[in-house]
Amino acid sequence: MSQANPAAPRALLERDYASALADFVSGTGEEALNRAYLIGRRAASAGIGLLDMATLHHQALAELPPARGPDGARRMALAGQFLVESLSPFEMTLRAHQDSARLLGLGGASGAQDSQIDRAREQLHTILDATTAVIYLKDSDGRYLFVNSQFQAVFGVRRQDVIGRVDHDVLPREAADMMSAIDRAVMEGRTPRELEESITEADGEHTWLSLKFPLIDDLGTPYGLCCVATDITQRKEQDEALRRAIEAAVVANRELEAFSYSVAHDLRAPLRSIDGFSQVLLEELGDRLDPQGQKYLGYVRESAQHMGQLIDDLLGLARVSRGDLHRGPVDLSATCRCIAERLQASEPARLVEFTIEDGVVADGDERLLRAVLENLLGNAWKFTGKRPLARIEFGARPEPRPATYFVRDTGAGFDMAYVDKLFGTFQRLHRTSEFEGTGIGLATVHRIVSRHGGRVWAEGEVDRGATFYFTLEEVSR
């Protein structure tokens, strides 16, 4: 209680005390007595001690004009009353001290007869010792009032060697300097503080997350400090590992992007040569090749073109996997109509009846959802190619949430036994001679729907058509 007495409040207090005392002894009554109490409270919160208060009283008394006889005796009695009143806040502070000390079993002297307090103390101790956190209490002079078991374990000290001592008696100098400086700052600042502290223990460096808060009594006077510290070494390591993993993933992603990019450029160039010079051969030397030779050159060209398509589709798959989702309302009906028109224009002779439900709007990335519908409607168009008359349908079932969207066709269908293979990369259920394709379209659909937090599945029957369903996560707005 003797530290941190700024001179200014002290001087102010002296003046207040003297004037209030003078008022009271001259008979202004109750009001002046209240002032005595308030001055006491202020003194207690400013950290002014009991002895200081007694000195203050003595000085103020000495400054009063002299009085003798019955007047003098009456004045002494009033002055005594004033002193008692000004000290009463200290008494309450003291009681708060004693209560908390009794609860923690520090004070020793009192309380033993109160079994309720005993039980509470026991429970509190059990809890404080059971936790993996390090917990300690210090008084305002930095002396340990209490340490829990974990404190003993971490610092390798015994409780009885710590209580009543300060950091520098207990801890290595460097640690003690740091800890006492921080603790003092918390007490003086009167605000809780959270900080990370590194402590070297037997098994290496540990990181502790400490919450330190001043203990303040009902009168606003700080009388100590409590610290609860949690070992976050493991969490720190996990954070670090996670950070490194994310960094590695970012690097890998960048490399993959660079890879896709050179695939786009470099893998296509030789294919163009293979296709181009095969064609040149056919044009210029075609008469010197027999029909079989011409057919083989045709195969060379077809293969080159097929590989080109594979590369393009793979690049498309890579493209839908990267980049941010730009979510917004997407008019699926309009998108379907647009795709249907284009499909019809690509083969005007085909008779395909499109049934597209109106006003189906979903929440998602427009470019990616368009790719989903292009793939699904494109497939429907492709697998109805051998039908003289075909039907392709798009619609939605809003309930149950999330809404289910579907694309249905009356085409070649598929055997449900192979339904699991449908969405894998390069997986095909039909021979290339029946239906062209690279086996990447549905993998792309699957990737996009997953990125939208949705699900995609299919139902089909050989020669009786197929239905593809998908959902999208509904983002609440």
Partner 1 sequence: MTDKVILLVEDDPRDQELTMRALARSKVEGRVVIAHDGVEAIEYLFGQGPHSARDVQDLPALVVLDLKLPRMNGFDVLKRIRADPRTHLLPAVILTSSGEERDRLEGYSSGANSYVRKPLEYTEFASAVSQLGLYWLVVNQPPPPTRAGKP
Binding residues for partner 1, per CB under 8 A? 261, 264-266, 268-269, 271-273, 275-280, 301, 304-305, 308
If the CB atoms of residues 1 and 304 are measured against partner 1, the closer one turns out to be 304
Indicate the residue among 257 and 415 with the shorter CB distance to partner 1. Answer: 257
CB of 277 to partner 1, least distance (A): 7
Nearer to partner 1, 265 or 477 (CB): 265
Tokens matching residue 228? 């609860």
CA-wise closest residue to 413 among 453, 466, 360 = 466
Give least dist CB 269 to partner 1, A.
6
Which residue, 271 or 396, has its beta carbon nearer to partner 1?
271
Q: Which CB atom, from 174 or from 283, has the smaller least distance to partner 1?
A: 283
46/263 with CB nearer partner 1: 263
Which residue's CB is nearer to partner 1, number 299 or number 418?
299
Other C-beta atoms closer than 10 Å to the C-beta of 253 total: 12
Closest contact distance (angstroms) between CB of 252 and partner 1 is: 19
Distance of CA 98 to the CA centre of its chain: 42
**Closer by beta carbon to partner 1, 318 or else 369:** 318
- Choose among 423, 463, 462: nearest CA to 444: 423
Give the amino acid at 89: P
> Toward partner 1, which CB reaches closer, 280 or 389?
280
Q: Smallest distance, Å, CB 228 to partner 1?
A: 53
Q: Which is nearer to partner 1, 241 or 280 (CB)?
A: 280
What letters, b where the CB count within 10 A reaches 16 and e where it falls short, cover 271-298?
beebbeebeebbeeeeeeeeeeeeeebe
The DSSP annotation for 222-261 comes to EEEEEEEEEE-HHHHHHHHHHHHHHHHHHHHHHHHHHHHH
Cα gap 220→46, rounded to integer Å: 10
CB of 306 to partner 1, least distance (A): 10
For residue 331, the minimal CB distance to partner 1 (Å) is 23
State which residue, 194 or 284, has the beta carbon closest to partner 1.
284
Placement of tokens 């004693």 in the chain: 98
DSSP secondary structure of 56-100? HHHHHHHHSPP--HHHHHHHHHHHHHHHHHHHHHHHHHHHHHHHH
Provide, rounded to whole angstroms, the least separation between the CB of residue 254 and partner 1: 14
User: b/e string for 322-339 if b means 16 or more Cβ within 10 A?
Assistant: eeeeebeebbbbebbeeb
To partner 1, the closest distance from the beta carbon of 188 in angstroms equals 58
Least CB distance to partner 1 at residue 298 (A): 12
Phi then psi for residue 455, to 5 deg, are: -135, 145
Contact 364, 327 (CB under 8 A): yes
Q: Which uninterrupted H or E stretch holds 197?
A: strand 193-201
User: What is the closest distance, in whole angstroms, from the C-beta atom of residue 394 to partner 1 in the complex?
Assistant: 27
Do the Cβ atoms of 245 and 161 come closer than 8 Å?
no
40 and 53 in contact (C-beta within 8 Å)? yes
Q: How far apart are CA 211 and CA 196, in angstroms?
A: 9
Q: How far is the CB of 347 from partner 1 (least distance, A)?
A: 18
The least CB distance from residue 153 to partner 1, in Å, is 58
Distance between CA 458 and CA 365 in Å, rounded? Answer: 22
Q: Which is nearer to partner 1, 283 or 290 (CB)?
A: 283
Question: Quick check: 36 and 86 in contact, CB under 8 A?
Answer: yes
Q: How many CB atoms lie within 10 A of CB 52?
A: 17
